[in-house]
Structure 1
Amino acid sequence: MADSKADTSHKKIFNKAYDFTKADEIKAQGLYPYFKPLQATDGTTVQIEGREVIMAGSNNYLGLTNDPRVIKAAQDVISTYGTGCTGSRYLNGTLDLHLELEEKLATFMNKESCVLFSTGYQTNEGSIQTIAGRNDIIFSDRDNHACIVVGTQVSNAKTVRYRHNDMEHLRTMLEKSDPNAGKIIVSDGVFSMSGTLAKVPELVQLAKEFDAAIYLDDAHAVGVIGDGGRGTASVFGLSDEVDLISGTFSKSFASLGGFIVGDRSVIEYIRHHSPAHIFSASMPPANVATVLKSLEILQEETWRLERLEEISNYMRKELRNLGFNVWSSQTPIIPVVIGEMYNCFRFWKDLFEAGVYVNAVVPPAVPRGQALVRTSYMATHTDEHLDKILSAFKKVGIMHGIIDKNGRSLIDVEA
């Protein structure tokens, strides 16, 4: 067989692919931290490359991915519904399970209606482009997740990006906008890299003042924070003031898929007009059953949210006491700033060798010079797990000159 590169290298469209060598360079140095295959997992610990490590980089916030009740719920429905739906919700892909989950999520979130999507990414990408049209303006936080950014890009609406959580800048942009245009403010509820919350009270105030709607992506908030796990707006008692709230099932709900809740008329419009909903196969039965059981457990076992908050506060405090910069995290997502990209990769590797798995995050996902390791925690982490994580961070942090033995930071990066 002819060499594939030789066959296609003359085609300019592929030049960018052949010019991309960064990943191979990092692999050659033994520092590549991505696409690591998990060989086994019980949730809090995983087997990677034949070694057991503590998982401190998962979004399995409630620790339900390996819960026997959740596994059984998924298994039980397969004998009735099979393994997939083989069609979109619009045509042959709607099960009574989908309708049950939509009803229960709408009730849980205290909204009139809900529609499911096949992934969390599609939820935001598909809903934003559907709601915001040619004569509308989207005001989007610059740190919003990629799926929101793509949703704004494929929308026919004008998009204005305001500085991250900068309400004065948002006000300025709103003041400059066409007063007759439809307006929607879109923001992550919990920002996935920093673990900080959107300034919901200020967003609500500005939305009222400028006749704008509010859309919160609560992928890292529903089942994590707020009243009974109802997300960011509920932290402030402002759920009724937020028009649309989206979420995902790939985190606290131990599955895959997404949803958006709001007024019935708005949700019905999305249901009948969103290409991402209409032209995608629906969530498989086992996925839906997993979410239904996870939602039930979330409401019955309130200790999981309490334990998650306890762990988050403890780890944030202790990492700061060691001298690490954890930005202004307010959630189970706790970043630890390392600095330069290659230093971050080396730190990640030594932490892995010390028995702790986290996520290396480098530019452009974070500002240059502020590469970090993103840690996140589960309600099922034990005190022993937490102490081992902290011990590993202390050892590796001192080794790399990030902190000293007296709990002082030795790197100079902007908080």
Structure 2
Amino acid sequence: MPVTLSDRLSAELSGLRESGLLISPRVLDAPQHARTTVDGREVVNLASNNYLGFANHPALKARAAEYLQKWGVGAGAVRTIAGTLRIHEELEEQIAGFKHTGSALVLHSGFSTNQGVLGGLLKEGDLVVSDELNHASIIDGLRLTKATRKVFKHADPEDLDRVLRENPTEGLIMVVTDGVFSMDGDLAPLDRLVEVARRYGAVTYVDDAHGSGVMGAQGRGTVHHFGFEYADDVIQVGTLSKAWGGVGGYAAGHAGLRQLLINRARPYLFSTAQAPATVGALAAALDEVQRDPTLMERLWANTRYFKAELGRLGFDTFGSVTPITPVIFGEAPAAFEASRRLFDEGIFAVGLGFPTVPRTLARIRNIVTAEHTRDDLDRALAAYEKVGRALGTIGG
């Protein structure tokens, strides 16, 4: 007898439940802010990717409403048939100008962007070398290609050099890395990785989901931070759902990249274009970050303060150098229990365990934003101290 759907679901869910890994998302009852309401309780929010406070920003909401009234609720078709509105192309020109690249294309999410760009560029006979800690969307995007796939040790230019040296090819060579790694909050050493890639004639592909809006002047990203924004042999992709407060993905780089992706990127070819309100909000976000320098200043001042105080209390933040600040608890049950206790103290910070992170490195990932006040952060630090001492994570 074949396995029934009910049996499969029951077995899988029981296994997750018994291992302490079953996820039950909490529900927000108010807009995304530094302080919000979760499951009916007001909390300090350290769980969202709303780095610049744009998710409920008045300027973004006003532009979204303007575009909604003028352009309607939907585009009505895929971009290649009848779904390309003038505002789509204007947003892409705006992104290319902001990123200092020859072209840009907007897709539907950061995840689908990696599928579309990697699948559209790489062919059989090509070589792609990927950082071992790259995001799941990169891993899945590479699985869709027929290129030869190799992995190099995390953020290790010497190991990248070894892999490239041992795998010569006549096809396109691509080095793929996150810009900011989403679980650890560390930066890819792009200056050294690009140097190695160029030695072998390789293109460097940077997923800057957590770097765009965070790193570089005015949030132009990790590629800008390292000085490669004008380089035709560097491709940057990312999401528009984190610092930019909306939803979508982008690919920016060589002047010819956009035109090829219009013809080859399957998520672009087979998905209805983004809604006008979303386009308006994203256009306003790009304007706002350039208009108001205090956004980036507050983001980084809050980041430095929170990291320093966690370190003073004795927590292991895993060497993070970005607003992503992990606090290591070891095994998943300990991280989940810490998250529950923090919530009881009015702090919304989510525990992460295997398979999202390695088994012995379960953590709570905190993201500090420009919107947090010093009072928010002090309240969170007091809760962390209480919970950390109670669980024995820090000394009492």
Kindly state the Cα deviation for residue 25 of structure 1 after the two structures are TM-superposed: 4.5
Letter in 2 for 1:19: A
- Counterpart of 1:341 in structure 2 is 332
Kindly state the Cα deviation for residue 15 of structure 1 after the two structures are TM-superposed: 5.1
User: 2:306 aligned to 310, 315, 318, which one?
Assistant: 315
Aligned partner of residue 343 in structure 1, secondary structure? helix
- Counterpart of 1:176 in structure 2 is 166
Aligned partner of residue 111 in structure 2, secondary structure? helix
User: 1:397 aligned to 382, 388, 393, which one?
Assistant: 388
Aligned partner of residue 138 in structure 1, secondary structure? strand
- Counterpart of 2:11 in structure 1 is 19
- Counterpart of 1:151 in structure 2 is 141
Superposition pairs for residues 30-109 of structure 1, below 5 Å? 34-41=24-31, 43-109=33-99
Kindly state the Cα deviation for residue 11 of structure 1 after the two structures are TM-superposed: 3.5
User: Partners of 1:356 and 1:113 in 2: how far apart?
Assistant: 42
Q: Deviations over 1:366-393 (max 9, x none)?
A: 1111100000011010010010010110
1:211 paired to 2:201: yes
- Counterpart of 1:352 in structure 2 is 343
For the 8 Å contact 2:115–2:138, the answer to whether it is kept is yes
For the 8 Å contact 1:33–1:348, the answer to whether it is kept is no
User: Partners of 2:267 and 2:184 in 1: how far apart?
Assistant: 28
Kindly state the Cα deviation for residue 41 of structure 1 after the two structures are TM-superposed: 2.8
User: Partners of 2:119 and 2:129 in 1: how far apart?
Assistant: 13
Kindly state the Cα deviation for residue 243 of structure 1 after the two structures are TM-superposed: 1.8
Aligned partner of residue 240 in structure 1, secondary structure? coil
User: Partners of 1:157 and 1:37 in 2: how far apart?
Assistant: 41
Q: Deviations over 1:339-370 (max 9, x none)?
A: 11111111110011111111211012211111
Letter in 2 for 1:356: I
Letter in 1 for 2:57: D
User: Partners of 1:307 and 1:150 in 2: how far apart?
Assistant: 35
User: Partners of 1:165 and 1:243 in 2: how far apart?
Assistant: 17
1:285 paired to 2:276: yes
For the 8 Å contact 1:33–1:349, the answer to whether it is kept is no
For the 8 Å contact 1:186–1:214, the answer to whether it is kept is yes
Kindly state the Cα deviation for residue 239 of structure 1 after the two structures are TM-superposed: 2.2
- Counterpart of 1:141 in structure 2 is 131
**Residues 1:42 and 1:212: Cα distance change in structure 2 (over 3 Å):** closer
User: 1:387 aligned to 363, 372, 378, which one?
Assistant: 378
Letter in 1 for 2:236: I
User: Partners of 2:114 and 2:55 in 1: how far apart?
Assistant: 24
Superposition pairs for residues 125-274 of structure 1, below 5 Å? 125-241=115-231, 243-274=234-265
Letter in 2 for 1:165: A
Aligned partner of residue 285 in structure 2, secondary structure? helix
For the 8 Å contact 2:336–2:350, the answer to whether it is kept is no
Kindly state the Cα deviation for residue 33 of structure 1 after the two structures are TM-superposed: 5.8
Kindly state the Cα deviation for residue 10 of structure 1 after the two structures are TM-superposed: 4.5
How many residues matched? 394
Aligned partner of residue 40 in structure 1, secondary structure? coil
1:368 paired to 2:329: no
**Residues 1:346 and 1:271: Cα distance change in structure 2 (over 3 Å):** same
**Residues 1:32 and 1:318: Cα distance change in structure 2 (over 3 Å):** farther
Kindly state the Cα deviation for residue 86 of structure 1 after the two structures are TM-superposed: 2.6
Identity, in percent, stands at: 33
For the 8 Å contact 1:56–1:377, the answer to whether it is kept is yes
For the 8 Å contact 1:33–1:345, the answer to whether it is kept is no
For the 8 Å contact 1:137–1:181, the answer to whether it is kept is yes
**Residues 1:158 and 1:347: Cα distance change in structure 2 (over 3 Å):** same
**Structure 2 length-normalised TM:** 0.96
Aligned partner of residue 117 in structure 2, secondary structure? helix
User: Partners of 2:24 and 2:317 in 1: how far apart?
Assistant: 22
User: Partners of 2:46 and 2:140 in 1: how far apart?
Assistant: 29
User: Partners of 1:254 and 1:26 in 2: how far apart?
Assistant: 34
Kindly state the Cα deviation for residue 42 of structure 1 after the two structures are TM-superposed: 5.0
Kindly state the Cα deviation for residue 319 of structure 1 after the two structures are TM-superposed: 0.6
- Counterpart of 1:411 in structure 2 is none
Query: Which sections of structure 2, spanning at least 5 residues, go unmatched?
Result: none
**Residues 1:93 and 1:39: Cα distance change in structure 2 (over 3 Å):** same
**Residues 1:138 and 1:16: Cα distance change in structure 2 (over 3 Å):** farther
User: Partners of 2:25 and 2:2 in 1: how far apart?
Assistant: 30
**Structure 1 length-normalised TM:** 0.92
Query: Which sections of structure 1, spanning at least 5 residues, go unmatched?
Result: 1-8, 406-415
**Residues 1:134 and 1:298: Cα distance change in structure 2 (over 3 Å):** same
**Residues 1:381 and 1:224: Cα distance change in structure 2 (over 3 Å):** same
Q: Deviations over 1:211-231 (max 9, x none)?
A: 100010111111111122111
Kindly state the Cα deviation for residue 16 of structure 1 after the two structures are TM-superposed: 4.1
- Counterpart of 2:291 in structure 1 is 300
User: Partners of 2:201 and 2:380 in 1: how far apart?
Assistant: 47
RMSD value over aligned CA atoms? 1.7
Letter in 1 for 2:365: R
User: Partners of 1:210 and 1:32 in 2: how far apart?
Assistant: 44
User: Partners of 1:110 and 1:77 in 2: how far apart?
Assistant: 26
